[in-house]
Amino acid sequence: MNLETFRYDNRIVRAFAIATIVWGIVGMLAGLLAALQLFWPGANFDLAYTTFGRVRPLHTNAVVFAFVGNAMFMGIYYSLQRLCKARMFSDRLSWANFWGWQGIIVAAAVTLLSGFTTSKEYAELEWPIDIAIAVVWVIFTINLLGTIVKRREKHMYVAIWFYIATAITVAVLHIGNSIAMPAGWLKSYPVYAGVQDALVQWWYAHNAVAFFLTTPFLGLMYYFLPKAAERPVFSYRLSIIHFWGLIFLYIWAGPHHLLYTALPDWAQSLGMVFSVMLVAPSWGGMLNGLLTLRGAWHKVREEPMLKFMVVALTAYGMATLEGPLLSIKSVNALSHYTDWTVAHVHTGALGWNGFLAFSMLYWLFPKLWNTKLYSVKLANWHFWIAILGMMFYIVPMYWSGVTQGLMWKEFTSDGFLQYPNFLETVLQLVPMYGLRAVGGSLYIVGVLFMVFNLWQTARAGQFVPDVEAQAVPLRSQPAHVESGPIYKHRWLESRVVLFTVLSLVAILIGGAVEIIPLYLIKSNVPTIASVKPYTPLEVLGRDLYIREGCVGCHSQMIRPFRSETERYGEYSKAGEFVYDHPFLWGSKRTGPDLHRIGGKYADAWHFNHMEDPRTMSPGSLMPRYAWLLTQKLDTNSLPARISALRKVGVPYEVGYEQGQAQQDLAAQAAKIVTNLKQGSVESAADREIIALIAYLQRLGTDIKAVAPPAAQAATSTVNQP
């Protein structure tokens, strides 16, 4: 036998491990700050940079892309080399991947806190950073596929399938959802508008959960669990079915984020059906993992890594049962826009991703430093504190979600809303928000225990930068002589390019069938003649709404339920959003829906409310936005913005931005200043607040100008309270 000697690269694994821990703490602290702000408005510090609307996307991006992202790279860089019996394809690419990713994270943190955001959930970063992400992702993919190609192991273990699916799908999703027209270095408008933008965004966001938070971690589970349990996976057959079932079903389920919205009904039903079907492969995978421990449960008692892994799998099972449940339209009618969704995603984030990342860290540190874990007892403390923290987080959020959902829908015996004031339903939740912050704090304390434990472990050991290994190169391995179905199977699983193409086809078919009909809609959305493009002042106001992250707490999508039309007014129509680049439907109502806010209050009310919400709504949890009253509106960027919007299809006349737009802006601003005077408020016309008021007063009013025939014909609402 022609044995080759080679070395596995541990340095890159160590770098990603440290990054995982550092960004994990940053992301969780940002989450804790956001949690405090939700019941204690003072924690916004009256600073634009630290206000909830900007902290929340920082938290989600830091946790998803920085913490989980680095943990994913850590696990893949460790396991891939060993499964391929080869060092990474290129050390240079490995480090370009590492430093590129950390650079993107820093750029993300700085721009998000500075208010540069696209507002699209989990895709908030502006276009130059999006390009950087695409480049780094391509580097990672080349390194991944290159390593697989030069492997010394003929067969690709199932974990590698999950890694390949992750690499190609995330690339497709990221590029598909990020196509935008720049209107400056850190400002862009998506090419899609309204309903189309919503569907593309949730096709992306849903599958980002699937292919960034789920498939790579399933691959890691299939590697690290057998490794730690020192026994092979329960059923390799089941893992094959798990893989193909999962990647083929996930891609269709995105529309379940848009149930009862203005999205076409067929797409909603498609999303719902495929979501329910997803239970099967998800639970197949979970059971496959748990049953791997059959006969080895005593090891779970002794090995902290396995404890975390078991809870991670259980949380995966819970979240993947609950997800389909929430996708059923009648359940979603209650759960959507409430904290129930928050509870659901945190079962996944804290339980599945968090615990699996901790599990890998506890296992890898002793291996990388060639020693034993400093303290098993301390790891057990971490385990129990994290469980407690998770419970204190998730249970109050369920309570809060169901409470608020029911309160929104409660009618008196006379047929009026029981709680017509939205704030009443929010104040009911404050104790739950307090408990949630306790839960989050406990979880972070647990992480600090882990940091100390791992630090001491590394100190006690000696880092092993390279691990020597031996294997026979593929060219020297005997060719297969069998025939029949086995041969076919081996033929596929040993061909990385073919495998990659097949996975790509599987996800592209799903995406295409979902999205192509939406392109046909453009000419089929009933045109509402009175819906017009935003005025220049409103465009800038809308961009301020985006900058401050208002969409994090306020939806702009009134669902066709009596409980919503009573509270907010006429339900939202697809035709009303044709000029909305991006759509701002939102996914959570910490504050009320704003789609019909236009004309509801006087300009002065908005002015005072933005200065201090509690003067107009005593007890309100909304942060103060006092800086909008003093900061000068940037009108220099107006021509670039109008021009970019025209390029993506908003019918502004050619040359409108050269002078006329500025005049229209000044005239509208002067009118608002006059209105404010009537409300005893003095303001200069060139302040940001004026633009924001202009936008808010426009919201949802076009439809009232002339009642369109379609709206008149369909005034009945869905028979749902």
Q: Which residues contact 95 (CB under 8 A, 6 or more apart)?
A: 12
Q: Does 513 bind another protein (CB under 8 A)?
A: yes
In the complex with another protein, the residue whose CB is nearer, 182 or 517, is 517
202 Ramachandran zone, left/alpha/beta (phi>0; psi -120 to 50):
alpha
Asked if 265 is part of the footprint of another protein (rule: CB under 8 A), the reply reads yes
Looking at residues 543 to 582 of the shown chain, list those that interact with another protein (rule: CB under 8 A): 560, 571, 573-574
CB of 60 to another protein, least distance (A): 30
Tell me the window of 110-118, 178-186, 221-229, 681-689 that interacts with another protein (CB under 8 A): 221-229
What's the burial of 416, exposed, middle or buried (CB within 10 Å: 0-12/13-18/19+)?
exposed
How far apart (Å, rounded) are the C-alpha atoms in residues 336 and 587? 7
Q: Does 707 bind another protein (CB under 8 A)?
A: no
Task: Count the Cβ atoms, other than its own, within 10 Å of residue 381.
Answer: 17
Give the integer Cα–Cα distance in Å for 468 and 153. 16
Instruction: Give yes or no for residue 182 binding another protein (CB under 8 A).
Output: no
Give the x/- contact pattern for another protein in 78-97, rule: CB under 8 A.
-x--xx-x------------
The answer to the question of residue 240 lying near another protein (CB under 8 A) is yes
Say how many C-beta atoms besides its own lie within 10 A of residue 702's C-beta.
19
Nearer to another protein, 5 or 636 (CB): 5
**531: contact with another protein by CB under 8 A:** no
Q: Are the C-beta atoms of residues 485 and 150 closer than 8 Å to each other? A: no
Closest to another protein by CB, 267 vs 390, is 267
Question: Given the complex with another protein, which of 18 and 502 has the nearer CB atom?
Answer: 502
- H/E stretch holding 538 reads helix 536-547
User: What are the backbone dihedrals phi and psi of residue 468, each rounded to the nearest 5 degrees, phi first?
Assistant: -80, 140
- Provide, rounded to whole angstroms, the least separation between the CB of residue 371 and another protein: 13
**C-alpha 522: how far from chain center:** 27
Of 112 and 249, CB closest to another protein: 249
Indicate whether 448 belongs to the interface with another protein (CB under 8 A).
no
Mark residues 628-667: x for contact with another protein by CB under 8 A, - for none.
----------------------------------------
Q: Which of 128, 146, 517, 721 binds another protein (CB under 8 A)?
A: 517
Burial (CB < 10 A; 0-12, 13-18, 19+), residue 655, is: exposed
Please tell me what DSSP assigns to residue 552: G
- Rounded Cα distance between 27 and 353, Å, is 13
Going along 184-296, which residue ranges are E strands? 188-190
How near is the Cβ of 252 to another protein at its closest, in Å? 6
Those residues with Cβ within 8 angstroms of residue 258's Cβ, 6 or more apart along the chain or in another chain: 198, 199, 202, 267, 268, 271, 585
Binds another protein by CB under 8 A, chosen from 252, 393, 399, 534: 252
What is the closest distance, in whole angstroms, from the C-beta atom of residue 82 to another protein in the complex? Answer: 4
Which residue in the set 62, 183, 249, 681 belongs to the binding site for another protein (CB under 8 A)? 249
Count of residues that bind another protein according to CB under 8 A: 74
Closest Cα to residue 270, out of 258, 283, 281, 285? 258
Q: What residue spans of 258-303 are helical by DSSP H?
A: 265-277, 279-292, 297-302
Residue pair 374/456 in contact by the 8 Å Cβ criterion: yes
**Given candidates 43, 183, 471, 628, which one binds another protein under the rule CB under 8 A?**
471
Q: Which stretch binds another protein (CB under 8 A): 128-136, 241-249, 628-636, 661-669?
A: 241-249
Of residues 4-33, those binding another protein (CB under 8 A): 8
Which residue in 231, 562, 646, 704 binds another protein (CB under 8 A)? 231
Interatomic CA distance for residues 143 and 135, integer angstroms: 12
Q: Does residue 489 belong to the site contacting another protein (CB under 8 A)? A: yes
Rule CB under 8 A: choose which of 218, 233, 356, 537 binds another protein. Answer: 233
Binding to another protein (CB under 8 A) within 449-468 occurs at 467-468
Rule CB under 8 A: is residue 352 a binding residue for another protein?
Answer: no
235 binds another protein per the rule CB under 8 A: yes
Q: Taking CB under 8 A as the rule, does residue 176 contact another protein?
A: no
For residues 568 and 403, give the distance between their C-alpha atoms in angstroms, rounded to a whole number: 20
Which is closer to another protein, CB of 103 or CB of 295?
295
**Distances, alpha carbon 263 to alpha carbons 56, 257, 636, in Å:** 26, 10, 36
Nearest to 351 by CA among 303, 383, 399: 383
The answer to the question of residue 486 lying near another protein (CB under 8 A) is yes
